[in-house]
A and B are shown apart, each in its own frame.
Chain A
């Protein structure tokens, strides 16, 4: 379970380039909740993710994951709890290392640690996991990752991030750089893995339709603040057109009308 309390961040304070990027943001994700996050460019989506992942320290506020205060935990220590995927499929894997080496590293580095110590045991496990992707990668464990396509690499990164289920999965537009068919496949795979491991997950997307169809809850950020929080019936009744209209008015910096008490 993730608790974000009054989180705030301003970049380059006291300079002409000062940018209030985030907050105050207060947000709670229940165990197993799958949240989609939308908002215009510069709305603070990636900033929120980077703050949770520990890329920088916030100016104010707290972040709690599974009852543990991680606000000041170094980034690499948090990474043992949090799985991350980025838009760029090249960012998540080491190209000159083989698939097996990449998976081994991910498996042995994960927070709770893998229990399969033997190499042969691990190899069989990896092959079984890769087979589920349906990309024919299971026979190519010895292939350097650099030889895979972007979609294959992103699918592999997804597998690496979840091979030992993390407490929180952050997906930052992880299908945006893929062709439509591959994007669909990776998204379906994401859904499957999140459901199977009952993962708590946040996903940034620019596709409003995807945002409404995927997961259980949709948030919208504007100027670093949460302006919309849709779940349950309100979300089920929301159409792409209505949400798009809200999105447009948000981009025009018009005042947003929040539906019911779901707003933050």
Chain B
């Protein structure tokens, strides 16, 4: 793997690490499989790209998370106020977002940002081609992880965690689960929107179907991160999400260099996620089968 491919993978990992953090909040903390993500990623990307074209790349990175948060709020309201099942609520928002994303992108299905000023051209000019993007993205991730970590320790943050951990307890307590779900999903999708906004400026390109599979990709990163850093404490888990995303990108780069064609990448992601999530169940089955065989053998030996 060339140094260029390596640093490119790390940079993309730092961006997709934000998606992994989002899934840590929605999937692990709130225990909701939030499919809004596929739509809010493109929403952030589209909003960011349009503002880049209008000459405001930095504003693009502020609007992208706000737009994502709004999408999260819609999904949360569908769940808590309209009693739509969580998965379906996400699918409904995601579907609606496809049309909304086209509207945001001015009716075009893709946007080219070549030869326009982005935050990345700015940092490259400031810090040099090779380290500029890395420094910027690392700084963004450190700030986001720190803020998220501090938030999860506050009363509201603890209440969000309890909402996913023990719904029965929360119902009987002074926590309003509708509010905590809304806050959690808004934060998660704000992170996804920010990731979309960054990727649009990083790749200088965005298309309306670009968010497809973001959930699976984020989950793969999250699970890899949990294997690497463990789940023992919140700071570890936050760092793990970022590390997992970087490792995942490196695995993809290796797969690509080992002649997996780009069109098969999502299949590879899906297999990684399916394997990682089903690993404990498969392990248990194998252990049970071994135990059975051993017991049968010992029983037979005694007679």
Contacts and interface: CB of A to CB of B under 8 A. Distances in A.
Given A94-B161, A95-B166, A79 B155 contact: no
Contact of A76 (B165, B169, B174): B174
A97 B162 contact: yes
Given A105-B155, A105-B159, A108-B155, A77 B165 contact: no
**Interface size, B (range):** 10 to 19
Contact of B161 (A74, A80, A97): A97
Contacts of B161: 94, 96-97, 101
Interface in A85-144: 86, 88, 90-97, 101-102, 104-106, 108-111
Given A97-B158, A101-B161, A109-B159, A77 B174 contact: yes
Interface of B: 155, 158-159, 161-162, 165-166, 168-169, 171-177
A95 B166 CA distance: 7
A79 B165 contact: no
A101 B158 contact: yes
Contacts of A92: 169, 172
B169 A94 contact: yes
A173 interface: no
A105 B165 contact: no
A96 B177 CA distance: 18
A76 B166 contact: no
A105 B171 contact: no
A110 B155 CA distance: 11
20 contacts: A76-B176, A77-B174, A79-B172, A79-B173, A88-B168, A90-B168, A91-B172, A92-B169, A94-B161, A94-B162, A94-B165, A94-B169, A96-B165, A97-B161, A101-B158, A104-B158, A105-B162, A108-B155, A109-B155, A109-B174
A53 interface: yes
A241 B168 CA distance: 37
A75 interface: yes
